[in-house]
Amino acid sequence: MIDEIIYCSDLGQLMQELEADGKTEIDGITGEVVYTHGNLLTPVIKTGDGKSLSLVRDNKLDMSKYPSLKSLGTYDELFANEDSLALYKSVYPYDVPIEYKDENGDTHTYMRPEKIGSFL
């Protein structure tokens, strides 16, 4: 099995492409349109401007049908390619510290793991 990271440049466009290709359905509980093809291993990481990343096992999509999608490859391939890594970090900036205050008002800093779906 191959796990690959898929980058989406425009989620709205992707949903239109998937709907036109019959790869969506209506969720019976939420009433939302959902993607029905593939084997996502982690929740989709999204930005406010419509970009996303997902970790997919054994991707069966014909990527040429979906111009908004790009495979960044496996993690080894991703971290070895500067262009792919730049796209990955544009959605998931793992090297940017995150600060938060606890219930006592003390500030703490943590870093995300490099790989989406990883635990600290």
Whole-model pTM: value is: 0.80
- Is residue 11 within a helix (H) or strand (E), and if so which, with residue range? helix 11-20
Q: Given the structure tokens 């500030």, which residue do they identify?
A: 107
Per residue in 50-106, pLDDT tens?
899 998 888 888 888 889 999 999 999 999 999 999 999 999 999 999 999 999 999
Instruction: Count up the domains in the chain and report the number.
Output: 1
**Domain annotation covers residue 27:** yes
**Domain annotation covers residue 61:** yes
Distance between CA atoms of 89 and 110, rounded to whole angstroms?
Answer: 17
**Domain annotation covers residue 39:** yes
**Domain annotation covers residue 29:** yes
**Domain annotation covers residue 7:** yes
The b/e string for 54-76 (b: 16+ C-beta within 10 A; e otherwise) is bbbeebebeeeebebbebbbebe
- For residue 20, which amino acid is it? A
**Domain annotation covers residue 112:** no
Question: Which residue range is the domain that position 67 belongs to?
Answer: 3-95
Which tokens hold the place of 79? 């971290």
**Domain annotation covers residue 13:** yes
Predicted pLDDT of residue 40:
64
**Domain annotation covers residue 110:** no
